[in-house]
A and B are shown apart, each in its own frame.
Chain A
Amino acid sequence: MIKVEHLVKKYGNNYALGDVSFEIGEGEIVGLLGPNGAGKSTTMNILTGYLSATSGEASVGGVSILDNPLEAKRLIGYLPEQPPVYPDMTVDEYLNFVYDLKRCELNREAHLNEIRGVVKLQDVRDRLIRNLSKGYRQRVGIAQALIGDPKVIIFDEPTVGLDPKQILEVRNLVRSLGGKHTVILSTHILAEVQAVCERIVVIDHGKIIANEKTDELARVMEENAHYRYNICGPRSEVLTALRGVRGVLYAECAGERDGEAYTYLLELSGGTEPRKAVFRVCAERGWQIIGAADAGGDLESIFIKLIDRANAPKTNAGNRARRAEGKR
């Protein structure tokens, strides 16, 4: 449905996007993830025809946004970072304006009613947008994107500035759009992507550094498991013993003290064997393991690791090599 090929965008001498390519199938919900200033908004602005690209191709539903912008724009509903609402209009006036602007051919009353229902705007139909709260304005912005029943809907950070309840509502709404619409959701909040999206495209410094199914991203990124152990015993001895265990790639003491126990962070090679070995080593020496928890695998740490790796591939690889060496 959406196809982006070798997209490059230069601002002066800076590359906002350097050779970005990805594809999104019909009905997919894809998260565009990246730290602030990574190029998410630029990508979406190009896809919606707001900006042009320095080079590359972007097409929506087979229509090139650069060669045939009017046709392509018809297929897209877009909610920019700041909802583009006119404060001097009432909600109904605004929705009707957008309906006319997009030259929508659906039945006006039925279509607008349906949208008002979906984003729960019935109670504020005649209120001036100026007087609405941030949450309601955001909903008006979402409603605007839905008008005309576009095949592709693009949301740029739709939950920024909303309260937790509204955030949940927006997420549910986005999830419900999948299947019927192709949705791109940009955010820097990982939980959001995890909750809503089927696939994640991670972008940083104008480059795509990962493009995976949400649940596979963890697996792909993390061949080794991370654990957090709380072990009672003399700190340096425990550490030396842990480092001697087969399958423990890396061990360090996090320094947090819980009674007589210290917290240790371990990186274990896959499988359950190393955990058994850790238990045996501790049991033999009379150190009690009073806690063990999975410390990796969440998107947060994968995300940070991905970005670190992309930014400084050499040093990270070096660290890994050093860790492996230290173990041997």
Chain B
Amino acid sequence: MTAIYKREMRSFFTTPIGYVFVAIYLAISGALFAATTLFSMSSSLTEYFSYMLFVYVILVPLLTMKSFSEERKTRTEQLLLTAPVTLPGMVAAKFLAALTLFASCQLVAALAFFILARYAQLKVAVIFGNLLALMLVGMAFIAVGLFVSALTENQLAAAVATVGILLLFLLIGYANQFINVYWIRFIFSCLSVWTRFQNFGQGVFDVAALFYYLSVTAVFLFLTVRIYDKRRYR
């Protein structure tokens, strides 16, 4: 498992993907931070955090699109699947690698908060709550991305489909404004990533949301394992 993790981390930086991801992440995050706080004379990070969610919709697929699809295309998955490694181990290694890169970027981006702290009184709890929420959303998104990547051997298809699914997860809450049927609204709000994120933005530590994000992650990782398991039985 550690072997796959290490290889995965390396492959981010032997291909342009890792560099593109880090560069775009930090650039957009920096621009958003400047625009929402420094330039608009505000010490509230709420806007920054909620915009970042939309950035993830574009960036996370970049990170996950080739995880499994490339292995399938180049047939290297045959090496992994015939090596003494369990399927959950293989999926976990890929997940942790993507999460490592993602989390490091967000932590580096968070250094910008110190600039703000020089000029304004920041509520530390709110910031940590928001960062934690971002991480959780990132985890869930990565799990979705890995799942889609395991479905196809075409990277581009994986990326586009992931963007679509993530947008749906994010925007499904908005649709509720136009729907009168109670049970549909209930289901939509259950699925909505956005609704749950709002609480963190107000500095409320929402245990239900924590479980929501963790279970979305777990479900999609489990489905990824199942896809591989099922493919053996074709």
- Among B74-82, B119-127, B205-213, the one that faces the other chain is B74-82
**Contact between A84 and B79, CB atoms less than 8 A apart:** yes
Asked if A180 is at the interface (CB within 8 A of a chain B CB), the reply is: no
Across the interface, B79 reaches (CB within 8 A) one of A74, A93, A98, namely: A98
List which B68-98 residues lie within 8 A (CB) of chain A. 74-86
Contact check: which of B4, B14, B234 meets A89 at CB < 8 Å?
B14
Whether, in the assembled complex, B15 has its beta carbon less than 8 Å from a beta carbon of chain A, the answer is yes
Docked Cα-Cα span, A287 to B113, in Å, equals 106
- Identify the closest chain B residue to A74 (Cβ): B84
Contact partners of A93 in chain B: CB under 8 A: 10
- Report whether B86 and A97 are in contact in the complex, using a CB–CB cutoff of 8 Å: no
Q: Min CB distance, A139 to chain B, in Å?
A: 15
What per-residue 1/0 map shows which CB atoms of B190-234 lie under 8 Å from chain A?
Answer: 000000000000000000000000000000000000000000111
By the criterion CB–CB under 8 Å, are B14 and A101 in contact? no
A144 and B79 alpha carbons, distance in the complex (Å)? 9
Do residues A86 and B76 form an inter-chain contact, with CB atoms below 8 A?
A: yes
Tell me, rounded to whole Å, the shortest Cβ–Cβ distance linking B169 to chain A.
32
A102-B78 contact given A52-B232, A88-B11, A88-B14, CB 8 Å threshold: no
With A52-B232, A70-B84, A74-B84 known as contacts, the answer to whether A101 contacts B15 (CB < 8 A) is no
Q: How far is the CB of A186 from chain B (nearest CB, A)?
A: 14
A61 within 8 A of B: no
Residue on A with the closest CB to B14?
A88
**Please, what's the 1-or-0 string for B1-25, where 1 marks a CB less than 8 Å from any CB in chain A?**
0111011001100110000000000
Flag if A101 contacts B3 (CB, 8 Å).
yes
A51-B232 in contact (CB<8A): yes
Q: Does A240 sit at the interface, judged by CB under 8 A?
A: no
Task: Kindly provide the distance from the CB of A40 to the nearest chain B CB, expressed in whole angstroms.
Answer: 15
Residues of chain A with a CB closer than 8 A to B82's CB: 48-50, 73, 76, 78, 80
Q: Which residues of B contact A51 (CB under 8 A)?
A: 232, 234
B7 touches A97 (CB 8 A): yes
Which residues, 46 to 83 on B, are CB-close (under 8 Å) to A?
Answer: 74-83
A101 contacts B234, C-beta separation under 8 Å = no
- Known A52-B233, A97-B3; contact A84-B84, beta-carbon cutoff 8 A: no
Q: Mark A81-92, 1 if CB is under 8 A from B, else 0.
A: 010111111000
Residues on A with C-beta less than 8 A from B85 are: 70, 101
Q: How far is the CB of A25 from chain B (nearest CB, A)?
A: 23
Name the residue of chain B whose CB is nearest to the CB of A54.
B233
Chain A contacts of B11 at CB under 8 A?
86, 88
A219 on interface, CB distance cutoff 8 Å:
no
The chain B residue sitting closest to A156, CB to CB, is B78
Contacts of A127 in B (CB 8 A): none
A6 within 8 A of B: no
Chain B residues, Cβ within 8 Å of A48: 82
Q: What is the bound-complex CA distance between A102 and B77, given in angstroms?
A: 14
Contact A101 B4 (CB under 8 A): yes
Contact A84:B75 (CB < 8 A) given known A97-B7, A103-B84: yes
Pairwise interchain contact B15-A88, C-beta atoms closer than 8 A: yes
Please determine whether B79 and A11 come into contact, CB atoms closer than 8 angstroms. no
Report yes or no: A85 in contact with B80, Cβ–Cβ below 8 A.
Answer: no
Query: Given B2, B76, B232, which contacts A85 in the complex, CB threshold below 8 Å?
Result: B76
Interface residue? A100 (CB, 8 A): yes
Q: How close is B121's CB to chain A, nearest CB, in angstroms?
A: 48
Which residue of B2, B78, B234 is within 8 Å of A100 (Cβ)?
B2
Cβ contacts A131-142/B at 8 Å (1 or 0 each): 000000000000
A-B CB contact pairs (8 Å), 20 listed: A11-B234, A49-B82, A51-B232, A52-B232, A52-B233, A73-B82, A78-B82, A80-B79, A80-B82, A84-B76, A84-B77, A86-B7, A86-B76, A87-B74, A88-B11, A88-B14, A88-B15, A89-B14, A97-B6, A98-B83
Q: Knowing that A50-B78, A89-B7, A98-B79 are A-B contacts, what are 11 other residue pairs whose CB atoms are under 8 Å apart, sorted by A's residue number?
A: A49-B81, A50-B232, A82-B75, A84-B75, A86-B11, A89-B10, A89-B14, A97-B6, A100-B6, A101-B80, A144-B79
A-B CB proximity, top 4 nearest? A100-B3, A84-B79, A48-B82, A101-B3
